[in-house]
Amino acid sequence: MIDSLISISITMFVLAFSGYVLMILKEKVYLNNNIVFLDHKNLNQEDLEDLDIKHFMLGSTEIMVGDEVKIMLENDNKFVGTVLGANKSNNTIAIITKGRDIEQLSIKSIRKLKVISRYGKFFTRF
């Protein structure tokens, strides 16, 4: 009885670890091919077509698509979400907020920006 429980536990551990390794390798392939995977049901192609910059500097902060950011605007509104990109002609940045809304924020109205986590951070440290 105990031997079968141990073998089941070891099998489940090996399967879970293998799944994790495969997920990490998939993310590495996406990162090498400049693909960012965002799972969002309200995101459509029209939202992405307006965005022409995927990697940019905002002040002294480097930002790219997929980074999770915390933004404070001039009117003290706060947004936490994932960066979709920027539009150079409109001077705006698009993010998906935690409430699953897509927000277009004027860069001039941003008072403070903090990067919470970077997309692909597991691979960018090496």
**Residues 58-109 pLDDT 10s:** 888 888 888 889 999 989 889 898 888 888 888 889 888 877 778 888 888 8
Nearest to 64 by CA among 107, 91, 23, 31: 31
pTM over 0.75: no
Residue-wise pLDDT tens digits, 44-62: 777 777 788 888 888 888 8
Alpha-helical regions (H) of 1-126: 2-32, 45-49, 121-124
φ, ψ of residue 33 to 5 degrees: the values are: -95, 10
Specify the 3-state DSSP secondary structure of 5: helix
d(CA 106, CA 60): 17
Exposed, middle or buried, 30 (CB in 10 Å: 0-12/13-18/19+)? middle
Degrees to nearest 5, angle at CA 71 with 70 and 75: 145
